[in-house]
Chains A and B, each alone.
Chain A
């Protein structure tokens, strides 16, 4: 493996690591914010109260 190839692979790995770090830093920020504000978010899913109400209204 010559120097150019080694450096090239290193740059690719660094980029992927940077993406990984940014994504998980973002995830940390999202979770931290969520813990503070979770009461304000809609939580409806299949069979949830919100959707059941919609069904009743129909």
Chain B
């Protein structure tokens, strides 16, 4: 249990919220318009031709926006430093989360190294041309590397000074670079308007065909990565649920328009070169950007150098920030040593994570950086894939629980499209050096080793997790192979005792075992690990239930801490591969928007196994059971269950179908006969009644007055019920005052 802080206790340092929408957008744009894309412009024109380059940038922007929407949605729901690490951990568990964080840390650090080297190379070239380095007797390699170390340390220091300093620096650099590129783009447009004959530079439009466009898309796609730096700022953004998704979307728009405009201007600016413009530009490869600038503007080559330096430094600033936050998040949750998660009380920055990131950046400076950066590109693609899968998983499993600031429209169209399109692009991205294919798996393998040997046992629970604190899977007899388990969450004593006879009868009929599950719902303010006292009342109920089940041949118990009981129940049902979940229901008025309640509704909707919800069912067998029937698996399960609970000598199951005039008549006889045959139930215990009425609810409620128990199948699960608002069974369940059981057949596993 947590002890209250004493007044003299030093408060823990936290990250400081100082980044506004402008800072966040500029950080994202800064990381995306890295020097790579500017330098790669010549290469792109060579690969795809003039029109193909424009098309490739526009298509890449669209594909990037699809993944950006996933980041925007998740960062608005989980605005926390760690970005993809948090998303993957919540969606898929600790191992996947750690791998994502580990990759993100390394890939961002290596990208930072790459930008530091580019910045240093261009600066040294420029200074050499001016003759300012003649006195320096060092090889070009060492000149570049030493300057790159100095530049890296400068940006590590800027990041150390505080997030406001990082954001302001990013804004200044990115603004400088974006204004320069925007000026180039607009100047090119003006040139084109004044000289419309330059349209001939775009002739032929697609000299390399569509395959050239695809290759160019693959090569340049990675230039659109960078919005994850915005998601990393979840702990430092002002109004994160609003500003993070906005900044992510804006940055993709700004970057795509800038790339297309600049590419257009460079091609339109070429004149009198004796070759088609695209061939001439493409022939210079990485220097194509500078050559085109010479043709477009007076002092163009100088402007090109400054553009590249601006682009490289702003990207370096953002990558240092991003890598540091990824490392900090791993340290904060003890996935890596805890000192990496410490915050400087003076600067409110994660100074030790920053130091660790600086070490990686500087070490990589002395390795074959182009090859390692290609490895980082592969890892970024892997992270994008993970982000798109995570957004789908989170919507399906935790939609009710998360507070979204942005929910993408037309879900899941965009993440699915992103996965498919990125898979296509990956075919072209993989055409990189073999070193990249060694570096990426080697880093991932190292991460897995760290996780297995260190992180798995030490990781702290996060608020969305479920923590199993005590599991006694077997009290008496080992479950036989194929034996189905009934997960029975313990509630209050009255509810538990009301359902316990039903549990025993079900276990007996299915030859299954019962798992008593005590879920301790822990409030958000309390850490999961400090929730011990909250479990005491439930433990008393559990002991009582175990006494009632003393004759049960196979019985297990579990105690778990979680924030959300419904997800805890579903988690346990999946872990145990349960055949059914049995829950008591008090029939209290449910919260607005729920049928049975905020715990039961998600369980009914998402359970992989049968769900049985019982309200005061009493002790079987029953003499008169009413089962309102319609078509579908839930009705079949209701009939099967009625067969188990009815008195085998004197009882009757009344299958009641209320036919709505004007609709097709259902073959109730065939349905009941089919269930009896399959479940080997005696036919003399079943009776079928078909009534015609426009008011089925009223008829069923009247018929229910004569029954000892009503068993009804739930309505359409999930989206269908929400959209169509079909909830007749639920309405009956709420209005009928008789003992009642509501059932929903499982999607993949069944008890009976």
Tell whether, in the assembled complex, residue A51 and residue B16 are in contact, meaning their CB atoms are under 8 Å apart. Answer: yes
| Cβ-defined contact, A16 with B17, below 8 A | no
- Asked if B14 lies at the interface with its beta carbon under 8 angstroms from chain A, I say yes
- Report the Cα distance A34→B405, complex, angstroms: 7
A26 to B238 alpha-carbon distance, docked (Å)? 19
Query: Is B164's CB under 8 angstroms from A8's CB?
Result: no
Task: Knowing A30-B246, A34-B405, say if A41 contacts B62 (CB, 8 Å).
Answer: no
Closest to A40 in B: B403
How far is B17's CA from A4's CA once the two chains are assembled, in angstroms? 51
**Contact of B439 with A by CB under 8 A:** no
Q: Are A26 and B249 in contact (CB under 8 A)?
A: yes
Once A41-B240, A41-B242, A45-B18 are accepted as A-B contacts, the answer to whether A16 and B403 lie under 8 Å apart by CB is: no
- In the complex, the number of residue pairs spanning A and B with C-beta atoms less than 8 Å apart equals 122
Min CB–CB distance A15 → chain B (angstroms): 4
B69 within 8 A of partner (CB): yes
Min distance, Cβ A26 to any Cβ of chain B, angstroms = 5
Cβ contacts under 8 Å, B59 to chain A: 15
Alpha-carbon distance A57/B20, docked complex (angstroms): 24
Q: Which one, B11, B205, B246, B404, contacts A27 given CB within 8 A?
A: B246
Q: Is the interface of B mostly helix, strand, loop or mixed?
A: helix
Interface size (B, Cβ < 8 Å)? 47
B239 touches A43 (CB 8 A): yes
A42 touches B17 (CB 8 A): yes
Residues of A close to B16: CB separation below 8 A: 44, 51, 54
Partner of A16, one of B257, B345, B407: B257
When C-beta atoms are compared, the residue in chain B nearest to A29 turns out to be: B406
**Stretch binding the partner chain, chosen from B32-40, B50-58, B627-635, B707-715:** B50-58
Contact B65 A22 (CB under 8 A): yes
| Residue among B59, B69, B253 having the largest count of chain A Cβ atoms under 10 Å | B253
In this assembly, does B409 line the interface, its C-beta being within 8 Å of a C-beta of chain A? yes
Q: Which residue of A lies closest to B62 (CB)?
A: A15
Is the Cβ of A15 less than 8 Å from the Cβ of B11?
no
Q: Tell whether, in the assembled complex, residue B14 and residue A54 are in contact, meaning their CB atoms are under 8 Å apart.
A: yes
Question: In the complex, which range does the number of interface residues on chain A fall in?
Answer: 35 or more
Q: Is the CB of A34 within 8 A of B61?
A: no
Inter-subunit contact A16/B256 (CB<8 Å): yes
Contact between B72 and A26 (Cβ–Cβ < 8 Å)?
Answer: yes
When the two chains form their complex, are residues B238 and A23 in contact, meaning their CB atoms are under 8 A apart? no
| Pair A41/B239 contact, Cβ less than 8 Å | yes
Shortest distance from the beta carbon of A42 to any chain B beta carbon, whole Å: 6
Contact (Cβ within 8 A) B256 A19: yes
Q: How far is the CA of A48 from the CA of B625 in the complex (A)?
A: 64
* Contact in complex: A44, B238 (CB < 8 Å): yes
Q: Which residues of B contact A41 (CB under 8 A)?
A: 239-242, 405
**Residues in A lying within 8 Å of B, measured CB to CB:** 1-2, 4-5, 8-9, 11-12, 15-16, 18-20, 22-23, 25-27, 29-31, 33-34, 37-38, 40-46, 48, 50-51, 54, 57-58
6 A-B residue pairs with CB within 8 Å: A8-B55, A12-B55, A16-B58, A30-B245, A41-B240, A44-B238
Ranked 4 nearest A-B pairs via Cβ: A15-B58, A44-B17, A8-B51, A5-B205
